[in-house]
Chain A
């Protein structure tokens, strides 16, 4: 099943985004050619998080020993301790599915069927609301979102059993002159919802 794990604007130039879905950590990075990589957040060498590594536009370099992994293939291309040797082809990071649509980045733990949010009948370019991290389980937050009955399309991304991220879209997007006010409004509404969810711990 597809879940949104980031917004497109969470992947600026040469950044590495640290995402989490159902207890799985991801290192998410956009290469200079626009391709979005979603990898298991663990260098295969000694288990250091790739999300603290360096995105140089073509490769992700691990912070520990400088191992480099290629855009798209996730294969290790260079091991500095042995600069003359080509790394074994088996040294390839675990890749997760990725679709960038509706201003969000979507992924899944297993091979998902269909397209993300196919039922929601969304516009191509909705207004992407600020993602709100909540320290409460996704089912509780989903219930609160549903009873709030907001005129927005809300997805609740389950990061782990105790937390989630509320990712909302306004589709169709309103007039650009309204964006700032609407982003503020929904930020306040969803933050209040977050506070309510967290208080019921």
Chain B
């Protein structure tokens, strides 16, 4: 299994998180998105026509789109069928709904981060305002989930790939000038994600201290 990835990619991190938690051995091929723009080189466009990272190659299959890779890895390799329980349609629906939310986080908080760190052109005020709108909604959702004894995005009693998809753009939001000071339930959820067995960091993310998940 080969993962085409870039160390600072938030989308790549989503996949790295699951690979670490499932303990799946793999090799990583670094694609120099920045400054080399290697993702636009012909060889990479052959496997990822839009030049996007990450891309997963497993035997003869090539898959791009971080959320697609998460569903494939969970469905194929998670023997306990917790991360993406294919036998539970209601939960799959909920997961996919939150994958959509995670995508929107990327389009707002994620884009703000690229603007502030790599000077990518965007309407930065709109990106930040959009991120705050989503974080506000997320904080309310997580607060009420906690009230009913749920610690994760979906009401499954355990984390799913929805949590791994939303975590990177949330935890890196401050790199785009989007503070999480107003979102205490989101901050608690971030601590819980960091304490999951097999959790790994990326530049910009600090590990949690010792402690169990509530």
Instruction: Please say whether chains A and B are actual partners in one complex.
Output: yes
- 8 Å CB contact of A180 from B136, B148, B188, B210: B148
How far apart are A183's CB and chain B's nearest CB, in angstroms? 6
Q: Establish whether residues A14 and B209, one from each chain, have CB atoms under 8 Å apart when the complex forms.
A: yes
Q: Establish whether residues A183 and B147, one from each chain, have CB atoms under 8 Å apart when the complex forms.
A: yes
Flag whether A20 is at the interface (Cβ < 8 A): yes
Q: Establish whether residues A18 and B148, one from each chain, have CB atoms under 8 Å apart when the complex forms.
A: no
- 8 Å CB contact of A56 from B181, B184, B191, B210: B210
Of all chain A residues, the one with the shortest Cβ separation from B190 is: A15
Q: Establish whether residues A133 and B206, one from each chain, have CB atoms under 8 Å apart when the complex forms.
A: no
- CB-CB < 8 A to B210: which residues of A? 14, 56-57
- 8 Å CB contact of B206 from A55, A63, A130: A63
Flag whether B41 is at the interface (Cβ < 8 A): no
Of all chain A residues, the one with the shortest Cβ separation from B132 is: A135
Chain B 174-196 near chain A by CB (<8 Å), digits 1 or 0: 00000011111001100100000
- CB-CB < 8 A to A56: which residues of B? 209-211
Flag whether A35 is at the interface (Cβ < 8 A): no
- CB-CB < 8 A to A20: which residues of B? 181
Q: Establish whether residues A54 and B181, one from each chain, have CB atoms under 8 Å apart when the complex forms.
A: no
Please report which residues of chain B, range 66-89, place their CB below 8 angstroms from some CB of chain A when the two chains form the complex.
none
Q: Establish whether residues A13 and B214, one from each chain, have CB atoms under 8 Å apart when the complex forms.
A: yes
- 8 Å CB contact of A184 from B144, B183, B212, B214: B144
Q: Establish whether residues A61 and B147, one from each chain, have CB atoms under 8 Å apart when the complex forms.
A: no
A14-B209, A14-B210, A187-B140 known; A131 vs B184 contact (CB < 8 Å): yes
Of all chain B residues, the one with the shortest Cβ separation from A51 is: B181
A12-B188, A17-B184, A131-B184 known; A52 vs B147 contact (CB < 8 Å): no
Instruction: State A17–B184 Cα separation when bound (angstroms).
Output: 8
How far apart are A72's CB and chain B's nearest CB, in angstroms? 18
Flag whether A10 is at the interface (Cβ < 8 A): yes
A17-B184, A130-B140, A187-B140 known; A52 vs B206 contact (CB < 8 Å): yes
- CB-CB < 8 A to A133: which residues of B? 136, 182-183
Q: Establish whether residues A13 and B212, one from each chain, have CB atoms under 8 Å apart when the complex forms.
A: yes
- 8 Å CB contact of A183 from B136, B144, B182, B191: B144
How far apart are B44's CB and chain A's nearest CB, in angstroms? 35
- CB-CB < 8 A to A183: which residues of B? 144, 147
Chain A 34-77 near chain B by CB (<8 Å), digits 1 or 0: 00000000000000000010111100010100000000000000
Chain A 120-154 near chain B by CB (<8 Å), digits 1 or 0: 00000000001101000000000000000000000
Instruction: State A57–B209 Cα separation when bound (angstroms).
Output: 9
Q: Which residues of A contact B (CB under 8 A)?
A: 6, 9-10, 12-15, 17-18, 20, 52, 54-57, 61, 63, 130-131, 133, 163, 180, 183-184, 187, 191
What 9 new A-B contacts, CB under 8 Å, besides A10-B184, A13-B214? A6-B184, A13-B211, A17-B184, A18-B180, A18-B181, A18-B187, A56-B211, A163-B182, A187-B144
10 contacts between A and B (CB under 8 A): A12-B214, A13-B212, A14-B208, A18-B187, A55-B209, A56-B210, A130-B143, A133-B182, A133-B183, A184-B144
